[in-house]
C-alpha cells in the first residue's frame, strides 16, 4: 500500500480561500514601501551555509539548531535561508551596490526556513516581509524604517501592535556591558537552564531572551544595557526617540529586548501584538541597526538598518479580526445549449478583455446546477443565455444579492456592469 502523501511538517499550503489576505498584505507592503523609495529585491532561498554562520552567528539558536543544512551534489554545504538580512547583504556586497549609490533602500517578501518547535504562529516554512536600508548611520534612518512599518500596520487596520525599543550599544560600550552581565549571570549560574549555561559561555546576551521561567526571573535583575551605553550610543538613542515623538510614533523602552541574532548594534526594536490569535508567538516583527555586518561580509564600511515582519502572523491577525479579502466575479454567464454556450464564451471573452471578471461553467449541465455554481462563485450578477437572448442580442441581468433584473443589450453590458 502506498503511503499517504502530506506536506512536510511545519510547512503550510495556502489555499485560495486564504490567499486573498496574503495578497492584500503583500500589495499593501509594495504600495507603502514604494512611497518611501524602497525597491524590491529577490534573492535565492539557498545560500552557502557559511553566510549565516558569519552573520546571524554560530552561537545563535537559528544557526546552531534550526537551519535546514545539507550538502549539494558537489559536496558544498548549503542552507535554506532562515532569515532575509544576510542574503540581502550578500547581494548588496556581491553587486557592489555601494559604489553605484550612497543610499540604498530595499525590501523583500518570501519564505524563510527554521526547524523550530511548532505552535500557533510558528512554522518551519514561514514568510517574511523585510526592509533593509544601507548607507545612513543617522538615527533618522532608524526612525524612517520604524515609522514606515507603523504606517503599513495602520494601513492594514491592525491596532494593538506595540513598538518596543532598545539600544544594544556598539563595539565601544558593549564589551563593558557584557562583562557586567557575565559577572551577574555567573553568580546565578546554577539557577539557569542548561541551554543558558551554555549561552553564558558562548553568547551571554541571549540569556536575556530565554523563555524559561527561572531564566526570565534572573534576566529581570540583570544589569541594563542602557546603564552602560557610551555617549555616542546614548545620543543616538535620544535622537531616535526625539524623532519618533516628532512623528507621533508611540513606543515603549524595553531594556530586556535583545533580539535573537548577533549582528545588531545600537537600535533594536520589535513589534509585539497583544492578541490571543497568536498564542505566545506575539512578535509580529523585529529589526534594528547592523552597522558592522556589510564590512564583516567582505563589503565596504556601510552602516545599515532593517526590519523583518512575519507575514504568516500578520495574516493570522487579520483573519482573526474577521477581515475577508478576495476577488469576486462581476458576472456569471449561464447558457441553455451548445449554441448559447458559443455566445456565452464569445461574450465572456469580450467582457474580460474590457477588464471585467466573468465566469462560466465550462462543463455546461443543467441551468439549475449552473446557477448553483453562480451562487458559490460570489458573482455580483448573473446572465442566462437561451434562444431568445441570442436572437435579441440582449438578456436579463440579475443581481445575485436579490432585486429586480434589468434588460441589457449585449453591447451595453460592459458599461452597465462597470457602473453597477
Ligand atoms: P526574527 O528576526 O527571528 O525576530 O523574525 C522576525 C519576525 O518573523 C518575527 O517577529 C515573527 O513575526 C516572524 N517569525 C520568525 N520566526 C517565525 C516562525 N518560525 N514562524 C512564523 N513566523 C516567524
Q: Which atom of ligand 1 approaches the CA of 259 most closely?
A: 4
**Sheet with 381-385: strands ordered across:** 358-360, 331-335, 381-385, 394-399, 406-409
Cell of 269: 526594536
> Which of 66, 283, 287, 316 to probe ligand 1 with, by most ligand atoms within 8 A of CB?
283
Q: At what angle do helices 174-187 and 194-202 cross, to 10 degrees?
A: 150
Residue-wise pLDDT tens for the chain (420 aa)?
578 999 999 999 999 989 999 999 999 999 999 999 999 999 999 999 999 999 988 878 888 899 999 999 999 999 999 999 999 999 999 999 999 999 999 999 999 999 999 888 999 999 999 999 999 999 999 999 999 999 999 999 998 999 999 999 998 998 888 899 999 999 999 999 998 998 888 888 888 878 788 998 998 899 988 889 999 999 999 999 999 999 999 999 998 788 766 788 999 999 999 988 888 889 999 999 999 999 999 999 999 999 999 999 999 999 998 877 888 999 999 999 999 999 999 999 999 999 999 999 999 999 999 999 999 999 999 999 999 999 999 999 999 999 999 999 999 999 999 998
pTM of the predicted protein model: 0.91
Q: Which atom of ligand 1 approaches the CA of 118 most closely?
A: 19
| DSSP β-ladder status, 283-289 and 39-40 | unpaired
In the reported structure, the alpha carbon of residue 217 is separated from the centroid of ligand 1 by a whole-number distance in angstroms of: 24
Neighbours of 339 (CB within 10 A): 13
Cell of 338: 451548445
Whether 357 contacts 330, CB under 8 Å: yes
Cell of 191: 539557577
In the reported structure, the alpha carbon of residue 282 is separated from the centroid of ligand 1 by a whole-number distance in angstroms of: 10
> Which of 279, 308, 316 to probe ligand 1 with, by most ligand atoms within 8 A of CB?
308
Cell of 93: 556586497
CA distance linking residue 370 with residue 357, whole number of Å? 17
Whether 184 contacts 223, CB under 8 Å: yes
| DSSP β-ladder status, 381-385 and 331-335 | parallel
Whether 90 contacts 297, CB under 8 Å: yes
Whether 228 contacts 237, CB under 8 Å: no
Please name the residue whose Cα sits nearest to atom 1 of ligand 1. Answer: 286
Query: 394: Cβ–Cβ under 8 A, 6 or more apart, which residues?
Result: 407, 408, 409, 410
In the reported structure, the alpha carbon of residue 47 is separated from the centroid of ligand 1 by a whole-number distance in angstroms of: 19
CA distance linking residue 276 with residue 391, whole number of Å? 59
In the reported structure, the alpha carbon of residue 309 is separated from the centroid of ligand 1 by a whole-number distance in angstroms of: 7
Q: Which atom of ligand 1 approaches the CA of 270 most closely?
A: 10
Amino acid at each position: 500500500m502506498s503511503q499517504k502523501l502530506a506536506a512536510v511538517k511545519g510547512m503550510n499550503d495556502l489555499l485560495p480561500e486564504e490567499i486573498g489576505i496574503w495578497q492584500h498584505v503583500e500589495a499593501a507592503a509594495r504600495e507603502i514601501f514604494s512611497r518611501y523609495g524602497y525597491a524590491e529585491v529577490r534573492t535565492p532561498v539557498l545560500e552557502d551555509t557559511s553566510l549565516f554562520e558569519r552573520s546571524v552567528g554560530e552561537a545563535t539558536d537559528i544557526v546552531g539548531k534550526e537551519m535546514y543544512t545539507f550538502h549539494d551534489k558537489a559536496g558544498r554545504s548549503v542552507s535554506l535561508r532562515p532569515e532575509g538580512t544576510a542574503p540581502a547583504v550578500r547581494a548588496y556586497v556581491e553587486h557592489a551596490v555601494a559604489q553605484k549609490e550612497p543610499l540604498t533602500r530595499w525590501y523583500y517578501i518570501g519564505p524563510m526556513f527554521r526547524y523550530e518547535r511548532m505552535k500557533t504562529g510558528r512554522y518551519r516554512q514561514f514568510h517574511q516581509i523585510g526592509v533593509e536600508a544601507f548607507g545612513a548611520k543617522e538615527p533618522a534612518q532608524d526612525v524612517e524604517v520604524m515609522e514606515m512599518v507603523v504606517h503599513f500596520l495602520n494601513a492594514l487596520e491592525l491596532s494593538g501592535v506595540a513598538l518596543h525599543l532598545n539600544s544594544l550599544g556598539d563595539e565601544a560600550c558593549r564589551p563593558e556591558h557584557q562583562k557586567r552581565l557575565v559577572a551577574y549571570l555567573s553568580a546565578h549560574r546554577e539557577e539557569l537552564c542548561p541551554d543558558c549555561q551554555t549561552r553564558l559561555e558562548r553568547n551571554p546576551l541571549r540569556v536575556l531572551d530565554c523563555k524559561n521561567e527561572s531564566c526570565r526571573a534572573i534576566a529581570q535583575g540583570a544589569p541594563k544595557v542602557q546603564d552602560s551605553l557610551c555617549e555616542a550610543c546614548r545620543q543616538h538613542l535620544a535622537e531616535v526617540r526625539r524623532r519618533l515623538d516628532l512623528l507621533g510614533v508611540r513606543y515603549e523602552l524595553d531594556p530586556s529586548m535583545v533580539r535573537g541574532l548577533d549582528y545588531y548594534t545600537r537600535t533594536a526594536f520589535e513589534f509585539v501584538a497583544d492578541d490571543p490569535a497568536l498564542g505566545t508567538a506575539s512578535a509580529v516583527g523585529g529589526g534594528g541597526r547592523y552597522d558592522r555586518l556589510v564590512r564583516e561580509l567582505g563589503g565596504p564600511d556601510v552602516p545599515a538598518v532593517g526590519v523583518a515582519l512575519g507575514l504568516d502572523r500578520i495574516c493570522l491577525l487579520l483573519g482573526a479580526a474577521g477581515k475577508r479579502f478576495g476577488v469576486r466575479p462581476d458576472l456569471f454567464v449561464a447558457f441553455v445549449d451548445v449554441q448559447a454556450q458559443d455566445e456565452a464564451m464569445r461574450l465572456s471573452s469580450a467582457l474580460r478583455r474590457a477588464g471585467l471578471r466573468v465566469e462560466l461553467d465550462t462543463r455546461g449541465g443543467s441551468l439549475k446546477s449552473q446557477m448553483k455554481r453562480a451562487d458559490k462563485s460570489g458573482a455580483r450578477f448573473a446572465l442566462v443565455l437561451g434562444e431568445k437572448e441570442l436572437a435579441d442580442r440582449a438578456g436579463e441581468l440579475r443581481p445575485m444579492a436579490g432585486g429586480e433584473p434589468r434588460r441589457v443589450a449585449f453591447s451595453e453590458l460592459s458599461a452597465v456592469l462597470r457602473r453597477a
